[in-house]
Amino acid sequence: MAIFNDYKAAIFATLNADPLLTGRIFQVLNQEQPYPKLWIEDSGAVDWSDNCQAGLNAEISVHIGSKYAGDKEINAYMQACHNRLHQQNLLLLETQCVLCQYAGHTVFFDPDGVTRHAVIRFSLLISE
Cβ contact 7:60 at 8 Å: yes
pLDDT of 110 reads 94
pLDDT of residue 3: 58
Which one has a higher pLDDT value, 6 or 81? 81
For 104, the enclosing helix (H) or strand (E) is strand 97-109
pLDDT digits (tens, 9 = 90+) for 73-116: 999 999 999 999 999 888 776 657 778 999 999 999 999 999 99
Mean pLDDT for the chain overall = 89
Query: Read out DSSP for 2-31?
Result: --SSHHHHHHHHHHHTSTTTTT-B-SS--T
Rounded mean pLDDT, 28-40: 90
Residue 68: its pLDDT value, please?
A: 96
Does position 59 have pLDDT exceeding 90, yes or no? yes
Higher pLDDT, 11 or 3: 11
Distances (CA, A) of 36 to 29, 51, 72: 12, 45, 12
Residue 80 pairs in a beta bridge with none
pLDDT tens, position by position, 20-29: 999 999 988 8
